[in-house]
Structure 1
Amino acid sequence: MPYQSVNLEFEPIPQNGRRRSQVFVQSKDAITTPLGKQSSPPDRDRQSHFEQQLCRIAAYLHASELPIFIRWRGGILTRMDKGCIGHAEAAGFLTPNWNDGTLVSVTLSQ
């Protein structure tokens, strides 16, 4: 899994008194199964945070196609959350790009 370096600080999702999983996870595992989301996410604020982070990365890279694996400033290695990608696809926010059954990047629709 090749990591794309971005000179941006990792911005974890605010917990605001509740336990939320991050929208970028510390996982080296590739995504090889269908995303399987067809509805709105149960935590819209979490999904919004994910989409905002993708827009930050896109602006930094000057690109609409973004890699799944990101190396943040300070060396934090993450992968986009599979559920967030699926909800973003269902909403028309992005298109997943597959290569031989493995998700390699996403392309933002905006």
Structure 2
Amino acid sequence: MPEWTFISLDYELLYSDPDRAGTEVFVKSASTFRANSFGKISRASDQRRQRFFEEKLQTIAWHLGSDTIPVFIDFNGDRRRMDKGCIGHALAPPAFLAPPTDGPNGFVTHVTIAQRQQERVTGQQDQKELKSRVLEALKARGTVTVETLMSLLDADEKPVRSAIDRLRSEGQPIWNDEARGFWWRDDMAPKEIPYSRWKRAYVPE
């Protein structure tokens, strides 16, 4: 019998339809499998499901503080095993997972995110944190230049500008005047700034 690793996370279903429960990326099963049982490795035909699986592993890795993730997980009392098919697809180039190995009991107990993928995940997490800090600074300080944001957040120019662009693409009302810098407004553009001087337009929903 496998050992279950408890994680203080609720399992988010991929499908709400109970008839599709068998297609979940973590299944209600305690069955085991060996590392040499994957056979032919191929990319997933259902890319939406595979992306959901990989994003789920990224979230678990972040909570555990490790890129090595248990196959058998107790999600706040909901015991689920990582889907074997999803693991197999994640081994296809460009591999999201490193080749699994059998544990001491003769079956796969953990998988590990491939190093280059882990570096990408860490970068995404850093960008997400910087994006939140940029938004917080803009809301708190009013008009602020990129140079000031760089100093406040101890970040380089490119990541700061990328964070602003991402926030704007998500609908945050971040205005920019080339002479004054950036600021956050959720009502309308400041009337004293000519529209022609704006880098981009924001259209409220």
Give the TM-score category using the shorter length: 0.7 to 0.9
Alpha-carbon distance change, 6 to 57 in structure 1, aligned in 2, over 3 angstroms: same
Structure 2 partner of 1:65: 68
Verify: 1:46 aligned to 2:49, yes or no.
Answer: yes
* Higher helix proportion: 2
1:44 aligned partner, one-letter code: Q
Any stretches of 5+ residues in structure 1 without a counterpart?
none
Q: Aligned residues, how many? A: 108
Q: 2:24 aligns with which of 7, 22, 25?
A: 22
Q: Which amino acid aligns with 2:12?
A: E
2:101 is equivalent to residue 97 of structure 1: yes
The residue type equivalent to 1:29 in the other structure is: S
What is the distance in 2 between the residues matched to 1:27 and 1:15? 19
**Amino-acid identity (%):** 38
Deviation digits for residues 68-100 of structure 1 (CA, Å, limit 9, x no counterpart): 100002x00000000000000113111213236
TM-fit CA distance, 1:15: 5.5
Contact 1:41 1:87 in 2 (8 A): yes
Residue range with higher mean Cα deviation, 98-107 or 50-59: 98-107
Structure with greater contact order relative to length (CA < 8 Å, sep ≥ 6): 1
Q: Does 1:81 align with 2:86?
A: no
Is contact 1:37-1:90 (8 Å) kept?
no
Question: Alignment partner of 1:98: what SS?
Answer: coil
Which has the higher mean CA deviation after the structures are superposed, 43-52 or 85-94?
A: 85-94
In the alignment, is the contact (CA less than 8 A) between 2:71 and 2:110 conserved in 1? yes
Tell me how far apart the structure 1 counterparts of residues 28 and 12 of structure 2 sit (CA, whole Å): 13
What's the offset of the Cα at 1:36? 2.3
Query: What whole-Å deviation, never above 9, does each CA across 1:4-46 have from its counterpart, x for those lacking one?
Result: 1110110111358x94710000001111251124221110000
Bigger radius of gyration among the two? 2
Cα separation, 2, equivalents of 1:66 and 1:94: 10
Which structure features the higher share of strand residues?
1
**TM-score, normalised by the number of residues in structure 1:** 0.88
